[in-house]
């Protein structure tokens, strides 16, 4: 079932005037994770197994980035949680509600910005976005729609037909549609693929402001810098399996390396005995020494190294430090698990 069919399905089955989900929060419910994915496996009709026993808990109010190479299973996982793809094995709860037995509730809690631009339409921006809200049984709220359109710089285009908009503007419309019914959990599947820098920045600002309002945001991205910039926690999926879930800061601290490279004044053919106690590597041309700092980055080690270099009469003309990026960590992880 594609998204438009799903939306039509909602229109026919939801009740107008339902209380906004946020009002239904109770202290007990607040303790539930935003999304609890338990033992989820998925095999497509073709026989291809896209997900293998995935367990993943997304906390309320966090920004969670799901990273993985092409075909890792990101869209499949998101589609299952959003009710677009059938769940194979396992269980998924959204704010404590089961996506199968309580699908109407869970779908009203979720907003999805899909990867594909499928919004060519003769309808105006205003009508399209307002209609999306109605699909989830929420009463009309022109002030909210206006705010969403203004936040996404779409207000001036509100009376334009969607088909006349640029690709970037259409993407903004997709985001506006996903926000129209005030979801508590927002999924963004590759939100900034192929968009310009300005829209990417706007998106980041928007996501942060949503988090401030308590919205949980789950995004997939190929731009590691996006995850580095925005995410509170990072999950890595590869070959349908979650291979790591970690707080971003902790991940960078644990797996990130810091290196110091010294460009030597006079090349050497081997590392002198006097420096043997340090974790040094000599470049092939003998012109540079690279020192890898302990993962907690003890500065005392660097001081001792510089002292030993001076004592051994080794001079260097330049030095620079390097900190591994999330991208380095990610590439290493995916390589390890393939
Ligand atoms: N309807 C389908 N029928 C059969 N196989 C499918 C179907 N949809 C996806 N797949 C396969 O499942 C695997 C996971 O696809 P999925 O779209 O979830 O990956 P992804 O991590 O989102 O990839 P990308 O980063 O390229 O969007 C891929 O090998 C894909 O070919």
Same domain, 164 and 204: yes
Same domain, 245 and 291: no
Share of the chain above pLDDT 70, in %: 82
| pLDDT tens sequence across 32-78 | 899 999 999 999 999 999 999 999 999 999 999 998 888 899 999 99
Best substitution site from 37, 54, 56, 72 to test ligand 1's pocket, by max atoms within 8 Å of Cβ? 72
The pair of three-digit structure tokens given for residue 244, joined into one six-digit string = 């790591």
pLDDT: which is higher, 323 or 43: 43
252, 286, 315: which is the final residue of a domain?
252
120 touches 160 (CB < 8 A):
no
| pLDDT tens sequence across 230-286 | 899 999 888 999 988 989 888 776 666 678 889 999 999 999 998 888 889 999 999
Best substitution site from 40, 50, 187, 334 to test ligand 1's pocket, by max atoms within 8 Å of Cβ? 50
The arrangement of strands across the sheet holding 35-43 comes to 49-58, 35-43, 89-94, 97-98
| pLDDT tens sequence across 141-194 | 999 999 999 988 899 999 999 999 988 888 889 999 999 999 999 999 988 777
Same domain, 134 and 22: yes
159 touches 84 (CB < 8 A):
no
Ligand 1: nearest atom to the Cα of 51:
14
What are φ and ψ of residue 182, in 5° steps? 55, 60
Whichever domain contains 125, its CATH number is: 3.40.50.300
Predicted local confidence at residue 233, as pLDDT: 94
Predicted local confidence at residue 260, as pLDDT: 86
Instruction: Compute CA distances 313 → 131, 219, 226, 262, 270, whole Å.
Output: 75, 53, 45, 14, 15
Answer yes or no: is pLDDT of 109 > 90.
Answer: yes
223 touches 66 (CB < 8 A):
no
Predicted local confidence at residue 30, as pLDDT: 54
Same domain, 231 and 286: no
252, 267, 290: which is the final residue of a domain?
252
In a domain, 331, yes or no: no
| pLDDT tens sequence across 290-305 | 988 766 555 557 788 8
Same domain, 236 and 303: no
Ligand 1: lining residues by beta carbon, under 6 Å = 44, 46, 48, 50, 68, 70-76
Answer yes or no: is pLDDT of 306 > 90.
Answer: no
237, 252, 267: which is the final residue of a domain?
252
297 Cα–ligand 1 center, Å: 40
Neighbours of 262 (CB within 10 A): 21
In a domain, 337, yes or no: no
Which amino acid residue places its CA nearest to atom 30 of ligand 1? 71
237 Cα–ligand 1 center, Å: 12
What are φ and ψ of residue 43, in 5° steps? -120, 125
Do strands 241-247 and 233-238 pair parallel, antiparallel, or not at all (unpaired)? antiparallel
Answer yes or no: is pLDDT of 126 > 90.
Answer: yes
Identify the band that residue 117 occupies on the pLDDT scale cut at 50, 70 and 90: low
Same domain, 26 and 130: yes
Whichever domain contains 272, its CATH number is: 3.30.70.1560
d(CA 300, CA 283): 24
Predicted local confidence at residue 20, as pLDDT: 34
Same domain, 246 and 284: no
CB-based burial label for 294 (10 Å; 0-12, 13-18, 19+): exposed
Domain that includes residue 283, residue range: 256-324
The pair of three-digit structure tokens given for residue 157, joined into one six-digit string = 């285009």
Predicted local confidence at residue 297, as pLDDT: 52
């Amino acid at each position: 079932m594609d998204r438009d069919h799903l939306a039509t399905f909602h229109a026919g089955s939801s009740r107008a005037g339902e209380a906004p989900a946020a009002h239904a929060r109770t202290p007990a419910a607040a303790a539930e994770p935003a999304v609890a994915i338990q033992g989820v496996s998925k095999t497509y009709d073709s026989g291809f197994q896209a997900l293998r026993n995935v367990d993943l808990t997304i906390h309320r109010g966090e920004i969670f980035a799901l990273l993985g190479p092409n075909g890792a299973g990101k869209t499949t996982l998101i589609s299952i949680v959003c009710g677009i793809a059938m769940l194979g094995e396992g269980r998924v709860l959204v704010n404590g509600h089961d996506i199968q037995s309580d699908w109407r509730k869970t779908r009203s809690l979720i907003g999805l910005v899909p990867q594909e631009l499928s919004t060519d339409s003769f309808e105006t921006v205003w009508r399209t976005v307002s209609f999306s809200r109605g699909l989830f049984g929420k009463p009309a709220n022109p002030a909210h729609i206006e705010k969403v359109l203004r936040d996404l710089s779409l207000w001036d285009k509100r009376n334009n037909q969607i088909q006349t908009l640029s690709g970037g503007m259409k993407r903004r419309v997709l985001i506006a549609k996903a926000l129209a019914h005030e979801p508590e959990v927002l999924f963004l599947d590759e939100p900034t693929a192929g968009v310009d820098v300005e829209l990417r920045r706007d998106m980041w600002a928007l996501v942060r402001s949503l988090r401030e309002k308590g919205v949980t945001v789950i995004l997939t991205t190929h731009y590691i810098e996006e995850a580095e910039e925005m995410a509170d926690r990072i999950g890595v999926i590869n070959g349908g399996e979650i291979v790591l879930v970690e707080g971003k800061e902790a991940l960078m601290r644990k797996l990130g390396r810091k290196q110091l490279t010294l460009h030597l004044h006079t090349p050497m053919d081997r590392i002198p005995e006097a420096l043997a106690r340090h974790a040094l590597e000599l470049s092939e041309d003998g012109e540079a020494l690279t020192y890898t700092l302990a993962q907690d980055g003890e500065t005392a080690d660097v001081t001792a190294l510089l002292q030993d270099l001076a004592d051994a009469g080794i001079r260097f003309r330049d030095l620079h430090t390097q900190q591994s990026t999330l991208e380095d960590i990610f590439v290493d992880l995916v390589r390890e698990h393939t």
